[in-house]
Amino acid sequence: MAKTLAVSPLAPASFPELPVIGGVDFAVAEAGVRYAGRTDVMLARLVPGSTVAGVFTRSATRSAPVLDCQEKLGGDQASGAAIIVNSGNSNAFTGRNGVDATRAVTTAVAAALDLPETRVFSSSTGVIGEPLPHDRITAKLDELKGALAPGGIAAAARAIMTTDTFPKGSAATVTLPGGTVQIAGIAKGSGMIAPDMATMLVYIFTDAKIGFDALQPMVSEISDSTFNCITVDSDTSTSDTLLMAATGASGVAVEAGNDAFRAALHKVMLDLAHQVVRDGEGATKFVEINVTGAASDADARTHALAIANSPLVKTAIAGEDPNWGRIVMAIGKSGAAADRDLLTIRFGDVLVAENGWVSPDYREEQGAAVMKQPEIPINVTLGLGQGSATVWTCDLTHGYISINADYRS
């Protein structure tokens, strides 16, 4: 039985109403991969001609499903496609068994849906290092096939959860010269969040008609400014996968340079990324770190991540302690260029430190008031150039320890 965790205090009020995306059907099942009494497998079927793009973890120990998906991107789109996802077991660090298990699942899905095996994309999330009981998944394929229906995306969002305390979804509508297109996405992720590609598991669907050569660069680029800018605990998963499918069911063509579609996709991806942080294991604070005035954008990102990943910074935030010295420490250790005497730090709009020293007008109670808020902006100006970056994170509480200390038990 999966443990029931208290819903994050940063969770949205409810799961959003997501549009039905033409050309994709969903189904879920209880396969008992690890959890009992809850859905843990999701199947999505895509119509012929669908484009599938993706980004994945760059972990050196990435899972068999990740490696399999990477090989399949950009293949022949004439046939349909499918995405099969299980929670509870990541099928990572399982040697040849992992490869065989992945192939067993994708081959069975291909046979059930009359698809080429090369058009079946699989993902697994959960415990690392345990063999995937793939027979429990394949035994459910007849049930899944029979349940496929257009309106099942919300159920799919729940089936892919592990330590998540709420399902994550987001959507956008775009009106283009050729008509209106819809975008809807779901994600799972709560811990082991410091992606080096995208994040955790994310599935985004659109009824727009867009080719692989246009969609893949767009997905990769937007991932860099959304999912690659979040961190819960500085740990990159072996299984991080983002897949985006464009079914073309609307008949509305989208070219690579379409700014309106790009903006809508960015909105969906950023919303999902923020929801992952808001569901950070044990999180009680959502933190936005803005770094400006760096020697380069890359340096700004290095500084921002050093702050976001510092256990000392994160625990101070958890304790609502406006300990700005820990921000100074994180900047100094990051390895990127910094000058103590040019540094400015603000908690929200409160000027805390400038010119290498605490601001003469700063009062501790001002910083403490900001730290009591559920959403905390930390703004750093380095005074060295035009580089800037924004990173999102959460605090580090005892809840994180409790969840992860007994994760497998």
pLDDT at res. 389? 97
Per residue in 300-334, pLDDT (tens digit) is 999 999 999 999 999 999 999 999 999 999 999 99
Cβ contact 94:129 at 8 Å: yes
Q: For residue 214, is pLDDT > 70?
A: yes
Tell me the mean pLDDT in the region 142-160. 97
Strand order through the sheet with 344-347: 357-358, 350-354, 344-347, 375-381, 286-294, 387-394
25: exposed, middle or buried (Cβ count in 10 Å: 0-12, 13-18, 19+):
buried
Q: Nearest 5 degrees, angle CA 166-CA 198-CA 390?
A: 90
Confidence of residue 194 (pLDDT cuts 50, 70, 90): low
Model confidence pLDDT, tens digit, residues 152-192: 999 999 999 988 999 999 999 999 999 999 999 999 986 55
pLDDT digits (tens, 9 = 90+) for 10-30: 999 999 999 999 999 999 999
The span from the CA of 144 to the CA of 30, in Å, is 10
Q: Give the pLDDT score at 1.
A: 44
- As a whole number, mean pLDDT of residues 287-307 equals 97
pLDDT on residue 102? 96
CA angle 80, 263, 161 (to 5 degrees): 55
Residue that is written with structure tokens 């700004």 in the block: 300
Of the candidates 183, 373, 397, which has an alpha carbon nearest to the alpha carbon of residue 288?
373
pLDDT tens-place string over residues 339-378: 999 999 999 999 999 998 999 999 999 999 999 999 999 9
Catalytic residue list contains 199? yes
Q: For residue 35, what pLDDT band results from cuts at 50, 70 and 90?
A: confident
Residue 318 near residue 286 (C-beta atoms within 8 A): no
* 215-265: pLDDT as tens digits: 999 999 999 999 989 987 665 566 688 999 999 999 999 998 899 999 999
The whole-number pLDDT of residue 398 equals 81
Q: Where are the alpha helices (DSSP H) in 53-133?
A: 64-72, 95-113
Query: Which residue among 199, 247, 302, 393 is the active-site one?
Result: 199
Strands 350-354 and 357-358: antiparallel
Kindly tell me if the per-residue pLDDT of 291 is higher than 50.
Answer: yes
| Average confidence score pLDDT of the chain | 92
Q: Which of 223, 165, 154, 221 is nearest to 189 (CA)?
A: 165
Amino acid identity at 280: G
pLDDT > 50? residue 408:
no
62 pLDDT band, cuts 50/70/90, is confident
Cβ atoms within 10 Å, residue 359: 17
Q: Do residues 370 and 348 touch, judged by C-beta distance below 8 A?
A: yes
From the list 266, 79, 279, the residue with the least C-alpha distance to 183 is: 266
**What strand order describes the sheet that includes 41-46?**
24-29, 41-46, 81-89, 120-127
Whether pLDDT at 56 is above 70: yes
